[in-house]
């Protein structure tokens, strides 16, 4: 079994974490930020939303390529989840970011919307009013750090946190799971150039669950590619976030290579996801159907990115080749 050296760090979230100058270490720069949501309405319909920034061209929000915006998930793995808004099914585009720091409010603004952070949490607005989400971080801010070493071409950090959000999409009230994650590497690099995307990732998982009495849980973890033993993550349970280095997952895959279930062990707990929805060829969604605590949650929002070789270095390079001039490459 192959191994690499890494550490899992955690901090209580503060407003400073969302300032553009925040770094986990002085020698790295931002290499991408993403905001992803898995939400449900009162009827139990699931929705999937995603937005990236600084991940292809620093200072630009990544608006479409290829699955950003919001999709209405269908309870099947055999159909492409439809876009809720036609504009997000067009060719890809990027929008320049504007940033304002008013001391007690931070704003990332772009033509199609804005993202705000203040004492009340996170606020995600669509410029045309098609969606509006408000949420608070429920976990610690957790950073995975791997130094440069054999098998890791450059030092990187990856940061993740969980939020519970409410709001509306297309006039429908929704609530559920939103995560914020960031990547950091040598100044000037972007996510697809970092080792975690090129060499290490076999699977990425993020989820939130809610029990009948309102208690919240959730977590995040990676699994290594191929024979790589790489299982960093964090678990939110009973209001406490714990960091882990040894998460182990056991996926169930159908004849089409799609993920249909996931069993995993984290911090002495075992969970099983039933994955019955697809948001893209590599994104799968579902619910918790087994919890070793003996109590199933009333609601759960489970998201797995399972590339299974689809995100090779060659593929990643093709994806960013057309923005090389914009990056001064």
Per residue in 4-44, pLDDT (tens digit) is: 999 999 999 999 999 999 999 999 999 999 999 999 999 99
What is this structure's pTM? 0.96
Is the confidence at residue 1, as pLDDT, over 60? no
Please state, in angstroms and as integers, the Cα–Cα distance from residue 208 to each residue in 169, 175, 192, following that order.
19, 11, 26
pLDDT score recorded for residue 314 = 86
What is the rounded average pLDDT of the residues 128-156? Answer: 97
> Which of the residue ranges 17-21, 161-165, 290-294, 317-321 would you say has the lowest mean pLDDT?
317-321
Cβ atoms of 224 and 231 closer than 8 Å: yes
Q: Predicted confidence band at 67 (pLDDT cuts at 50, 70, 90)?
A: confident
Is the confidence at residue 304, as pLDDT, over 80? yes
Q: Which residues pair with 178 in a beta bridge?
A: 37, 163
Is the confidence at residue 70, as pLDDT, over 90? no
What is the rounded average pLDDT of the residues 276-305? Answer: 94
d(CA 101, CA 95): 19
Structure tokens at 109: 């603004």
Is the confidence at residue 313, as pLDDT, over 90? no
Closest by CA position to 293, among listed 314, 325, 315, 269: 269
Q: Is 16 helix (H, G, I), strand (E, B) or coil?
A: helix
Strand 94-96 and strand 283-291: pairing?
unpaired
d(CA 194, CA 282): 19
pLDDT, averaged across the chain: 94
d(CA 95, CA 62): 7
pLDDT score recorded for residue 143 = 98
Q: Is 141 helix (H, G, I), strand (E, B) or coil?
A: strand
Backbone angles phi, psi at 303, to 5 degrees: -135, 125
Helical (H) or strand (E) element with 316:
helix 313-321
Is the confidence at residue 128, as pLDDT, over 60? yes
What is the rounded average pLDDT of the residues 132-159? Answer: 97
HSE, CB side, 13 Å, CA atoms: give it for residue 279: 27
Contacts of 116 (CB under 8 A, 6+ apart): 105, 106, 107, 108, 122, 123, 125
Burial of 240 (0-12, 13-18, 19+ CB in 10 A): exposed
pLDDT tens digits, residue range 175-226?
999 999 999 999 999 999 999 999 999 999 999 999 999 999 999 999 999 9
Q: If you write DSSP's letter for every residue of 283-308 in order, what string do you get?
A: EEEEEEEEETTS---SEEEEEEE--T
> Which of the residue ranges 85-94, 117-126, 312-321 would you say has the lowest mean pLDDT?
85-94
pLDDT score recorded for residue 315 = 83
pLDDT score recorded for residue 88 = 81
Cβ atoms of 73 and 279 closer than 8 Å: yes
């Amino acid at each position: 079994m192959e191994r690499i050296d890494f550490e899992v760090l955690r901090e209580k979230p503060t407003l400073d974490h969302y300032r553009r100058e925040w770094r986990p270490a002085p020698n790295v720069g931002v290499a991408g930020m993403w905001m992803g949501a898995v939400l449900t309405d009162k009827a139990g319909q699931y929705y999937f939303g995603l937005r990236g920034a600084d991940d292809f061209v620093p200072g630009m929000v990544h608006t479409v390529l290829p699955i950003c915006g919001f999709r209405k998930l269908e309870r099947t793995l055999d159909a492409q989840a439809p876009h809720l808004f036609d504009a997000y099914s067009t060719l890809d585009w990027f929008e320049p970011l504007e940033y304002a720091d008013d001391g007690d409010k931070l704003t990332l603004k772009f033509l199609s919307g804005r993202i705000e952070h203040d004492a009340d949490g996170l606020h995600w607005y669509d410029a045309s009013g098609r969606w509006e989400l408000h949420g608070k971080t429920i976990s610690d801010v957790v950073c995975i750090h791997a130094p440069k070493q054999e098998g890791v071409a450059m030092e990187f950090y990856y940061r993740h946190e969980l939020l519970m959000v409410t709001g509306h999409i297309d006039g429908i009230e929704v609530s559920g799971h939103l995560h914020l994650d960031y990547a950091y590497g040598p100044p000037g690099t972007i996510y697809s150039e970092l080792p975690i995307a090129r060499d290490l990732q076999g699977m990425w998982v993020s989820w939130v669950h809610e029990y009948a009495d309102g208690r919240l849980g959730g977590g995040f973890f990676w699994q290594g590619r191929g024979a790589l033993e790489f299982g960093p993550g964090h678990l939110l349970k009973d209001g406490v976030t714990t960091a882990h280095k040894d998460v182990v997952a056991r996926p169930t895959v159908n004849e089409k290579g799609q993920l249909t279930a996931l069993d995993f062990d984290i911090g002495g707990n075992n969970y099983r996801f039933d994955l019955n929805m697809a948001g893209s060829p590599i994104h799968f969604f579902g619910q918790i159907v087994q919890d070793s605590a003996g109590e199933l949650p009333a609601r759960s929002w489970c998201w797995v990115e399972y590339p299974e070789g689809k995100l090779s270095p060659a593929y990643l390079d093709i994806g960013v080749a057309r923005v090389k001039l914009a990056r001064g490459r």
